[in-house]
């Protein structure tokens, strides 16, 4: 019995260092998406182009990130979680350094796609690693720290980027990021447990499972909603940057307390069924961006409204994961991978929405984003007609005299 307990402990990762290094990596990884938003102006000035034309540098990373989610999750089933995570973060140190050295917008665009792709090796594989190698009593805490890192990157990434750009120029954010990724790759290699032997299944099996999930009647509405969530969130912050809104440092910082508070309210929120949480959360975010456009508030009012938007988004993101995962059943892993990819594909559309509407002012952007979020809240409430319902209807019609 003692030897069995010892063997079981050897399979479990050390709780504190694992949670710390995974949480820091999550924060740094997703900061590479949001950090580009405050750098649009400085980069445009350096390259003598318009800031709106550089919104593709935000989108390019997001698209690469989304593809990385789909690509590396199944590959880690074959080659091992630790191997894929460490290799992906080490590669990201290189691609992030290349972005810092980009000679012009076109090169930067290609490099941002590549940077997003390599960074995408981390999130889905880290979640799988936690499920397999972290002891059950530490699992919830570790997942909470990981997701808090992902969510807080929306604020921390922008604040750090804005500060470094003001002091050292916009390239400093990526140069510092490259050094940080290199250090984290070494830390991950030291902390993560060696990969266990794995069966030689083909990753193609996981890839083949994904397309049918996209057309399942119980999942399709949720996937459509998923694309709206970060699209609106990224668009409002990009719009604030493009319209020259004052007090951006304070506005970005105001959302951080909300992001940090939501994970600690998870136990209370979980008492409410996931579908009942989703629509009110997105409706609150929709109301927030609509009021931004309607009221044209000052810095304090805008900060309060952005806190409302952030709270709605921060509740909606894990709620969608819960709902999709529970409906997918045995296909949970590919279903959640698809969710993550669509979430960040939507985030990639946000800068383009902002770029198209910012010239018309925050009112036009706020109303458009409100409509987008309201549609996202309404789509899951529409119940598709199931096959059983259709057959019942046909049977009823045939029984009529």
Which domains, from first to last, does the chain contain? 13-194 (1.20.1250.20), 208-383 (1.20.1250.20)
CA distance 270 to 202: 36
pTM of the model as a whole: 0.84
- Alpha-carbon radius of gyration of the chain: 22
Element (H, E) at 369: helix 362-378
Q: What is the mean pLDDT of each run of 10 residues along the chain (401 residues)?
A: 48 89 96 96 94 93 94 87 96 98 97 97 90 85 84 92 96 98 97 80 78 91 93 93 89 88 76 84 95 89 94 89 83 84 92 92 94 91 52 45 39
**Number of C-beta neighbours around residue 392 at 10 A:** 11
| pLDDT given at position 194 | 92
- pLDDT recorded at residue 145: 83
Q: How far apart are CA 91 and CA 82, in angstroms?
A: 14
Q: Is 367 exposed, middle or buried (0-12, 13-18, 19+ CB in 10 A)?
A: middle
Contact 89, 185 (CB under 8 A): yes
Report residue 364 CA to chain centroid gap: 25
Residue 135 main-chain phi, psi, to 5 deg: -60, 145
Looking at residue 141, its pLDDT comes to 80
First to last CA, the chain: 73
Handedness of CA 369, 374, 377, 381 (dihedral sign): negative
**pLDDT value at residue 46:** 94
Alpha helices in 101-203 (DSSP H): 105-119, 123-133, 136-168, 171-191
Write phi, then psi, for 296 (nearest 5 degrees). 50, 55
Residue 388 has what pLDDT? Answer: 43
Sequence-distant (6+) residues with CB within 8 A of 33 are 58, 61, 62, 65, 116, 153, 157, 234, 344, 347
């Amino acid at each position: 019995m003692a030897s069995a307990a010892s063997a079981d402990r050897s399979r479990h990762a050390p709780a504190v260092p694992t949670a710390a290094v995974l949480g820091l990596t999550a924060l740094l990884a997703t900061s590479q998406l949001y950090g580009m938003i405050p750098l649009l102006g400085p980069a445009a000035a350096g390259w003598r182009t318009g800031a709106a034309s550089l919104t593709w540098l935000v989108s390019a990373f997001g698209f690469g990130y989304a593809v990385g989610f789909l690509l590396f999750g199944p590959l880690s089933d074959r080659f091992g979680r630790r191997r894929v995570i460490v290799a992906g973060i080490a590669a990201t140190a290189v691609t992030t350094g290349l972005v810092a050295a980009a000679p012009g917008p076109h090169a930067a665009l290609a490099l941002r796609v590549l940077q997003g792709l390599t960074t995408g090796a981390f999130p889905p594989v880290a979640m799988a690693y936690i499920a397999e190698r972290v002891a059950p009593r530490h699992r919830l805490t570790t997942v909470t720290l990981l997701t808090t890192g992902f969510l807080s990157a929306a604020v921390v990434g922008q604040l750090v980027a804005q500060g470094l750009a003001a002091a050292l120029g916009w390239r400093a954010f990526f140069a510092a990021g490259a050094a940080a990724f290199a250090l984290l790759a070494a830390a991950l290699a030291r902390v993560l447990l060696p990969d266990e032997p794995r069966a030689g299944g083909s990753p193609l099996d996981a890839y083949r499972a994904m397309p049918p999930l996209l057309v399942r009647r119980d999942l399709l509405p949720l996937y459509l909603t998923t694309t709206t969530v970060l699209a609106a969130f990224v668009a409002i912050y990009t719009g604030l940057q493009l319209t020259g809104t004052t007090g951006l440092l304070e506005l970005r910082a105001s959302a951080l307390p909300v992001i940090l508070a939501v994970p600690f309210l998870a136990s209370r929120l979980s008492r409410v069924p996931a579908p009942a949480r989703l629509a009110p959360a997105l409706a609150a975010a929709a109301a927030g961006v609509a009021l931004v456009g309607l009221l044209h508030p000052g810095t304090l009012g805008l900060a309060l409204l952005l806190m409302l938007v952030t709270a709605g988004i921060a509740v909606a993101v894990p709620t969608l994961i819960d709902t999709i995962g529970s409906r997918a059943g045995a296909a949970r892993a590919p279903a959640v991978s698809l969710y993550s990819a669509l979430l960040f594909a939507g985030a990639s559309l946000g800068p383009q929405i902002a770029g198209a509407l910012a010239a018309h002012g925050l009112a036009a952007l706020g109303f458009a984003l409100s409509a987008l979020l309201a549609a996202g809240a309404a789509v899951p409430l529409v119940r598709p007609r199931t096959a059983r319902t259709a057959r019942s209807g046909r049977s009823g019609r045939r029984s009529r005299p």
